[in-house]
Each structure stands twice: as C-alpha cells, then as structure tokens.
Chain A
Amino acid sequence: LAKTTQPISMDSYEGQEVNITCSHNNIATNDYITWYQQFPSQGPRFIIQGYKTKVTNEVASLFIPADRKSSTLSLPRVSLSDTAVYYCLVVYSGAGSYQLTFGKGTKLSVIP
C-alpha cells in the first residue's frame, strides 16, 4: 500500500530557508509529486509540482533525488505569512489505476 509521510510540524525564524521532506514508497518513474499550502478555513492551494530532479518557481523549489523515495519542498527566506500547513500529494500509478495519496500535512510556524 502506497504511503506518503511528512513531519507533523516545523518551526522557523523569519528570513530562514525551510526544507520539508516527504517520503513516498513505491513511486513509479513518472508519478508526480505535488505540494499544496493551506491556511485556516481555506482550501489547499498549489505551490509546486515535479517528478524528477529539481523544479523551481517564484515561490519554492522541489528537489527529487534519483531514487525518488523522498522529495523536499524548499521555501527560501520565509516570512510570517508562510505560516500554514503544507501537504505533499503523490499520485501513484500502477496496474492501470491511480492511487492519490496526501500526506498528513506539516504545520509550519514562522517566528518573528
């Protein structure tokens, strides 16, 4: 059974870089890893997506090592407004079907 695991919580000071790791076993070559951000009383919001090596956009980077058993969301120079819950989503493919699995979420608290 595919499983997506991430730390429950993390604290960081403003201005620091934050790295949140997600573990995903049984991931196939072309299975995508996607990260979402959620604020209280809102739906999750897309941050970044990739399936190999490194992806960077204006808000984050996603690092995926060669074995693809884990991936790391990197948030550069966090601010208080980055305090939120971050979810890793992996869509596992295999045997002609998909299994869409969210991690339990990492609550990031940014401290002034």
Chain B
Amino acid sequence: DAGVIQSPRHEVTEMGQEVTLRCKPISGHDYLFWYRQTMMRGLELLIYFNNNVPIDDSGMPEDRFSAKMPNASFSTLKIQPSEPRDSAVYFCASSPPASGLGSNEQFFGPGTRLTVL
C-alpha cells in the first residue's frame, strides 16, 4: 500500500484565493483526520470523519474552512477565501476500524505546505 497520499505537497497562493487540499486514505481505513501544524500552535485537529461522515468539526477555525469526504477513498479540505494566517502544514491521517477513537494508530500523509501571501 502506498500509504496516505496528499496533494499538492506545496501550495503558494495569494490572499483571497480558494485553496483545495486533497487526501487519499489507506484502503480499508474508516477514520480520516485533517490536522493543521504551525510552530505556534503545534498539531491541531480540524475535523475527522468516520465512514465518510463528519463526526467532529469543532476544530475548524471558521466558516472559511470546509471539508468533504464524498467516498471512502477521497477527501478534500477547502479554504475560501484564504488568508496569510492560514499558512501552515496540513496533514491528513487515516486509521483502521477500532472499538473506539484513539485505540488504533493513525497513519499520516506527508502533508501539504500552504503559504498564503
């Protein structure tokens, strides 16, 4: 298995533009997580899905952020409009079925480094 795949690996955009980050989880995994990592705030959970359904989006910073998971093999995180403070590394992770959230390891993708000018 290729692991969790994220695209693009790097994105540079201007303030106000729409940004779409993509993730392909590991086949057979039914949890998918989106994280944001910055020096100041560390790793923050934005949203997670279970069986393609959003379960907790309380970490999504504001209405400019949205995430979808149309099927078990694809998810997107969209920022519209983007702002300089959104600059960060965004990670997608997936984990296999578990008896409860947190009882299985998460497999992280390589991340997307977003720079908003």
Contact = CB atoms under 8 A, between A and B. Distances in A.
Mostly, the A contact residues are strand
A98 interface: yes
Nearest to B95: A46
B103 A32 contact: yes
Interface residues of A, number: 25
A42 interface: yes
A54 interface: no
Interface string A68-107: 0000000000000000000101110100011011111100
Contacts of A103: 42
B45 A43 contact: no
A97 B59 CA distance: 14
Contacts of B105: 34, 46, 49
A60 B43 CA distance: 22
B111 A30 contact: no
Contacts, number: 61
Nearest to A91: B102
B109 interface: yes
A102 B43 contact: yes
Nearest to B106: A46
Contact of B43 (A41, A44, A91): A44
B93 interface: yes
Contact of B102 (A34, A87, A105): A34
A105 B40 CA distance: 11
Contacts of A41: 110-111
Nearest to A103: B42
Given A42-B110, A43-B108, A45-B108, 5 more contacts: A32-B103, A46-B107, A90-B102, A98-B101, A102-B42
Interface of B: 4, 33, 42-45, 48, 56, 91, 93, 100-103, 105-111
27 contacts: A32-B100, A32-B102, A34-B105, A36-B108, A41-B111, A43-B108, A43-B109, A43-B110, A43-B111, A44-B91, A44-B108, A46-B105, A46-B106, A46-B107, A49-B103, A49-B105, A87-B43, A90-B102, A91-B100, A98-B100, A98-B102, A100-B48, A100-B102, A102-B43, A102-B45, A103-B42, A105-B43
